[in-house]
Amino acid sequence: MQFYCPVCFAEVAADERDAPCRVCGARAEEWQRRDYTERLIHALRHPNPEVRMGAIISLGNRRDPRAALPLAECALAHPIDVVQALAIVRALHAILPAPERETALDMLAAHPARAVRRAVARMRSEP
């Protein structure tokens, strides 16, 4: 099993999981005290797409508007991952209506993938 620093995502050896990160100095126990939504938002920048997808789904389930803009930024940072971007549109659909959500949808309306742009248009046309 591969372990990563929760802050900088540097690879961490299994026997060094409890030590400060060699790259950024972060300590896991300090990271665990942070708000869970903040940790999920941070996970959107993880290099492993499976970790990002888990964060996307979880953020949609939490329905917190704070996640809207970071979700859109994640989709635009990985434009060839259309499956991930469509999951982000679904997550945004679940998020409570807020100005942040509308801004995120505006951002995704210009996504390079036609499927994503269409999903945003469908979402906006629903009552």
32 within a domain of the structure (yes/no): no
25 within a domain of the structure (yes/no): no
Instruction: Look at the pTM and tell me if it is higher than 0.95.
Output: no
Three-state SS at 17: coil
17 within a domain of the structure (yes/no): no
Residue 106 contacts residue 92 (beta carbons within 8 Å) = no
State which amino acid sits at residue 46: H
pLDDT in tens, 53-100: 999 999 999 999 999 999 999 999 999 999 999 999 999 999 999 999
Residue with more model confidence, 54 or 127: 54
State which amino acid sits at residue 99: P
Q: Please check the confidence at residue 31 and state whether its pLDDT lies above 80.
A: no
Phi, psi of 13 (to 5 degrees): -65, 150
The total of structural domains in the chain comes to 1
Q: How confident is the model at residue 27 (pLDDT cuts 50, 70, 90)?
A: confident
41 within a domain of the structure (yes/no): no
Distance from C-alpha of 54 to C-alpha of 103, rounded to nearest angstrom: 23
The residue-averaged pLDDT of 7-34 equals 85
Q: What is the mean pLDDT of the chain?
A: 93
